[in-house]
């Protein structure tokens, strides 16, 4: 096969890589993208998009079963699980097709193959047609991450699943065990509970969603309990025994050991960076102790012409973080004066209700030595929340008690994923809680709760009663 010469090669076409490639092309660079699986990466094909499609469908189905209090009764509502999975696939196909079209429209060359560095200026790419060499001036590593594995847990995608298998089942399991109470296990576990599986979640730590503050988690736990989900914290899985059609699991917890049988076991204990097998040793790049690639503010590695973005560049492992890094790296390669200088990076967990956070938590602010003021407003006091039958949750603001600067916002409740955008902008631009309180919000809407939480911080809440501070 003919060798390829390009200005910039981007390895990986996920939300970090394809965004970087398009921005590079906009800046006039000759760009070649190498992707060994599917355009769109894990996010579009086996992560964010398919999981959120299923979660939405699960919510629609659940609401059809619990709308009698509104005077609405659905007769004969049923779930065609195979058709649901087919619909999810169509959603993915539309988005990945759109990304492929954008890459082509911007003049990017896409090679389907497995890339490996042979030097700091050349790649060997194995394709279905053979092996070819790609020579470049700069390279951007955007190879993403994969589900982490536990020794002794043989993931076969039949009885024992990882997140990829959990998103691609053709029959609804009657019983499902989720090993790991992090965001992936909680999202998929909630989906399966909504559509009829009996779900058990086992978490080694003292609470599910260990990085989230307890008052937020309690609201999610209430929703899990309502759906019949059993949560076992401070508990580990000692062993798995596969049978013909199920898995026998031995748990170890405070009350000792117990055995239970499940149709399927879903293992979600985090993700590992795809930095092995890339031939990085041929480039001079050194990995950190966890396998990530250290980068500077331009997303440049220790080798000047090589950049790394997205999951391989370290925490947080978020698609939108990768996309932002892709733009920064592209503009740095294009000669623009740019750095990764993000003050507010939002994160969302699509449980039910949703959790969204940006900025500092109360604990983090106190550790930083800031005099903290925490103000909260409940969903139950918001007219829109009540009118859409979503009374569970709260909006909590963390601010500097002396300066009034907004430091963090944490939301648990319906549409938290959308509400967090306003707070993200406020923190990024250095706004005070007074700015939020003085901004007129449309009524009746859920964003009013951000305004009202700011009013709580200022001591003049309208729609909840707060005794005047003695100070």
| Catalytic site includes residue 320 | no
Per DSSP, what are the bridge partners of residue 19?
none
Round the CA-based radius of gyration of the chain to a whole number and report it: 24
Q: Exactly one of 56, 320, 441, 443 is catalytic; name it.
A: 443
Q: 118: burial class by Cβ within 10 Å (0-12, 13-18, 19+)?
A: middle
The answer to whether 304 and 330 are in contact (CB under 8 A) is: no
C-beta neighbour count of 320 within 10 angstroms: 18
Buried b (16+ CB within 10 A) or exposed e, 245-255: ebbebebbeee
- Copy the structure tokens of residue 11: 């390895």
- Copy the structure tokens of residue 452: 């009202």
Contacts 24+ apart (CB under 8 A), 282-286: 282/117, 282/118, 282/119, 282/120, 283/117, 283/119, 283/120, 284/120
- Distance of CA 382 to CAs 100, 242, 388, 394, 406, Å? 43, 49, 10, 10, 22
Say whether the peptide bond before residue 54 is cis (omega within 30 degrees of 0). no
Give the largest CA-CA distance in the chain. 79
Q: What is the rounded CA–CA span in Å between residue 57 and residue 18?
A: 28
Catalytic residues, which ones? 443
């Amino acid at each position: 096969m003919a060798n390829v010469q390009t200005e910039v090669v981007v390895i990986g076409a996920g939300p970090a890589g394809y965004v970087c490639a398009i921005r590079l092309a906009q800046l006039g660079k000759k760009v070649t993208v190498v992707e060994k699986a599917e355009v769109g990466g894990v996010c579009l094909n086996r992560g964010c998009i398919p999981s959120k499609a299923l979660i939405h469908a699960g919510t629609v189905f659940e609401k059809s079963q619990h709308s009698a209090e509104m005077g609405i009764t659905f007769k004969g509502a049923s779930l065609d699980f195979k058709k649901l999975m087919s619909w999810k696939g169509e959603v993915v196909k539309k988005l990945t097709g759109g990304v492929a079209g954008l890459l082509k429209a911007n003049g990017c060359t896409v090679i389907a193959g497995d890339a490996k560095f042979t030097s700091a200026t050349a790649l060997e790419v194995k394709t279905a047609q053979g092996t070819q060499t790609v020579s470049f001036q700069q390279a951007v590593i955007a190879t993403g991450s994969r589900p982490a594995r536990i020794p002794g847990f043989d993931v076969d995608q039949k009885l024992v699943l990882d997140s990829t298998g959990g998103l691609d089942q053709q029959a609804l399991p009657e019983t499902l065990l989720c090993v790991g109470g992090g965001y992936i296990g909680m999202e998929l576990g909630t989906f399966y509970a909504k559509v009829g599986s009996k779900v058990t979640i086992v978490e080694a730590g003292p609470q599910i969603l260990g990085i989230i503050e307890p008052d937020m988690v309690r609201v999610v736990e209430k929703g899990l309990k309502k759906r019949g989900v059993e949560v076992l914290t401070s508990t580990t899985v000692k062993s798995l025994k596969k049978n013909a059609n199920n898995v026998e699991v031995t748990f170890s917890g405070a009350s000792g050991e117990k055995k239970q049988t499940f149709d399927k076991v879903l293992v979600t204990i985090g993700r590992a960076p795809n930095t092995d097998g890339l031939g990085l040793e041929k480039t001079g790049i050194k990995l950190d102790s966890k396998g990530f690639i250290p980068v500077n503010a331009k997303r440049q590695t220790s080798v000047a012409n090589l950049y790394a973005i997205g999951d391989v560049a370290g925490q947080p492992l978020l698609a939108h973080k990768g996309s932002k890094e892709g733009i920064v790296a592209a503009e740095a390669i294009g000669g623009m004066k740019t750095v990764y200088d993000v003050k507010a990076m939002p994160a969302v967990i699509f449980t039910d209700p949703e959790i969204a956070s940006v900025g500092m938590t109360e604990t983090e602010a106190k550790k930083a030595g800031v005099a903290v003021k925490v103000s909260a407003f409940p969903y139950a006091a918001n007219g829109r929340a009540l009118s859409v039958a979503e009374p569970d949750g709260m909006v909590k603001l963390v601010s500097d008690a002396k300066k009034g600067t907004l430091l963090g916002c944490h939301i648990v409740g319906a549409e938290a994923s959308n509400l967090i955008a306003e707070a993200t902008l406020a923190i990024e631009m250095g706004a005070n809680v007074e700015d939020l309180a003085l901004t007129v919000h449309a009524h009746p809407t859920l964003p009013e709760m951000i305004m009202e939480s700011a009013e709580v911080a200022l001591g003049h809440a309208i729609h909840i009663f707060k005794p005047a501070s003695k100070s």
